[in-house]
Structure 1
Amino acid sequence: MAGRGSKNDQRARTEAERARLYAARSEWHRGQQRRRVRDNVVAGVAGGVLIAAVIASQVVHAQITAPEPEPTQSSTPSPSATPEQTPVPIPSDTPAETPAP
């Protein structure tokens, strides 16, 4: 039966495999970090745009639905200064009902 080689060859293969796995794992982690940074930047920009849009919409809404200014006292007479008129009953052409005896 033929041998597999010396222990040094086997050790070298094992170390090479470990180095390859370590490099692959390190690259994967670097990719994860880049993805997280990218996602955080995108979320920050989108959040900033959203907040700016909310503020802008509130300003526009406040401008459109602004309450009308109340009139000043000098421009219109106060309600207590004008006498209130009572409605005058209008006479009708129909005869008034008389109570039965």
Structure 2
Amino acid sequence: MDGELRFRKALMQADRGDGEAAKATLRDLVDHLEASSLKVRTLAVLGDLLASDGDHTAARHVLREAVGLAESLDEADDLVCYEVNRARNVLERLA
């Protein structure tokens, strides 16, 4: 299964209320992705899920990685900008 499909699978798992499966899918996907807009989006969603579950330390780490990676990429499409802004908002809430 390609990365985009796995990302969508994780979103569907989260929407169904299976946060643990979604986090596992996202973690596995992050481990297999090179630096890309998909990796930024994956990290941002994972960080948001971790924050929602109360794992603020892990969420901060993942969200900071998402923001840092986004800043290092030349490609910044609308989806990446949206996810990075969301990651920054969650980081502000966790501060």
Relative contact order, CA 8 A, sep 6+: which one is greater?
2
Q: Scaled by the length of structure 2, what TM-score is found?
A: 0.22
Q: Normalising by the residue count of structure 1, what TM-score does the alignment of the two structures yield?
A: 0.20
Structure showing the higher helix proportion among its residues: 2
